[in-house]
Amino acid sequence: MLLYMAKKRAEAAPGVGLATDMFFVTPKAPANVINPQVLSEIDRIFREAVAEFTTVTTKVNEKMKEYVGNVLKQASSQPQTAQDQPKPLST
């Protein structure tokens, strides 16, 4: 699956096409072509994983946005002290 995921990500690069020929190597046969039905199922699983990843990423981004908003809101409601002031850069 990792090999297929890398191939799908590489398709964003110029010159990398959508067609995929995959092979596996065993001690008894040097190169075996993975048949189209197997590739189709691998692609279905990949697309399902991408959809789940997108959903999780969206939820994480929403949680982070809420958290950072709360931190900024809390920081803006507290008066700054001399300790909070940024220190000048030494030259």
Residue ranges of the domains in the chain? 35-75
> What's the pLDDT band for 82 if we cut at 50, 70, 90?
low
Pick the closest to residue 20 from 53, 46, 52, 50 (CA basis): 46
* HSE toward the beta carbon, residue 6, CA cutoff 13 A: 4
Q: Where are any strands of DSSP class E within 19-83?
A: 23-24, 32-33
pLDDT in tens, 31-77: 888 888 998 999 999 999 999 999 999 999 999 999 999 988 888 88
**The pTM is what?**
0.61
